[in-house]
Structure 1
């Protein structure tokens, strides 16, 4: 989720938390979010795009379709509270430690061994028995057609 999208969702949540029993149409939402004026079409579109995700996560309830649809708070809080910068840094540190540990286990010898185990064995070639020579073929009554090479045609 992008930062701007998250900020817009937070602003919408606060708007609905301030009036939990009130039903909002798109137009009322636009007015309360300050996006009802001319030149704010992009912001209105972004608000309309944010609302379905709030419905899917159970924060809002939608009644109706199209421009007559109304949205109301369900009273459900966010499933996961917003992490503080310290918590985000700790998660990143844990992720990097796990990644480093996994990389240390995968030494070159282990990678070579894994590659050898996953490489199919070469197919064994059957012993080739010698065939007959051209002279033997002609002696049997065979006929040989000789094709002229391109460099012989130029002469």
Structure 2
């Protein structure tokens, strides 16, 4: 979300917090945010573009489609971003768990697990009752020879 939409989203959250439980249409949002004048088309477009982000985040609930859609605040608070020290600590813990889990498994164990998870190739059955052409002819069979197209032209 760009800076403009972030600012617009903050303003929209304030409008919804000021009207708890009310279902607001886009027009009523434009009126409350002072964007109904003729020269404020960009402002209205920015409001329209910021609403879906608020719906996806769960700050607003949308009912209906198009112009008749209504929006209502859920009262969900915005997440407070973690401090850089907290982020670094959680990342360090995740990395420690990851390295501990991979250090336990040796190469032999990984190869054995890979072999266990690899399906075995299908076994090919030998034809037991097959016979050669010579055996077929000795039994009294007849073989019909079909000519190839290059033999037919000559």
Smaller-chain TM-score bracket: 0.5 to 0.7
Q: Which moved more, 1:21-30 or 1:84-93?
A: 21-30
Evaluate the alpha carbon distance shift between residue 105 and residue 41 of structure 1 in structure 2; reply closer, same or farther with a 3 A threshold.
Answer: farther
> RMSD value over aligned CA atoms?
4.3
Query: Post-superposition shift, 1:129?
Result: 4.4
What is aligned with 1:27? Answer: 27
What is aligned with 2:81? Answer: 83
Evaluate the alpha carbon distance shift between residue 115 and residue 65 of structure 1 in structure 2; reply closer, same or farther with a 3 A threshold.
Answer: closer
Query: Post-superposition shift, 1:144?
Result: 1.1
> Residue 147 of structure 1: SS of its match in structure 2?
coil
- For the 8 Å contact 1:62–1:72, the answer to whether it is kept is yes
State how far apart, in whole Å, the 2-side matches of 1:106 and 1:35 are. Answer: 62
> Residue 145 of structure 2: SS of its match in structure 1?
coil
Query: Post-superposition shift, 1:97?
Result: 3.4
What is aligned with 1:114? Answer: 113
Evaluate the alpha carbon distance shift between residue 139 and residue 22 of structure 1 in structure 2; reply closer, same or farther with a 3 A threshold.
Answer: closer
Q: Which moved more, 1:61-70 or 1:33-42?
A: 61-70
- For the 8 Å contact 1:35–1:43, the answer to whether it is kept is no
Evaluate the alpha carbon distance shift between residue 141 and residue 66 of structure 1 in structure 2; reply closer, same or farther with a 3 A threshold.
Answer: closer
Matched, 1:93 2:92: yes
What stretches of structure 2 of length at least 5 have no aligned partner?
none
Query: Post-superposition shift, 1:143?
Result: 0.5
What is aligned with 1:40? Answer: 43
Query: Post-superposition shift, 1:25?
Result: 4.8
Q: Which moved more, 1:134-143 or 1:103-112?
A: 103-112
What stretches of structure 1 of length at least 5 have no aligned partner?
none
Count of matched residue positions in the alignment of Structure 1 and Structure 2: 148
What is aligned with 1:147? Answer: 146
Query: Post-superposition shift, 1:51?
Result: 5.2
Deviation string, structure 1 residues 10-54 (Cα, Å, up to 9, x no partner) = 33223444x356955533433554654133343031244245457
TM-score (norm 2): 0.58
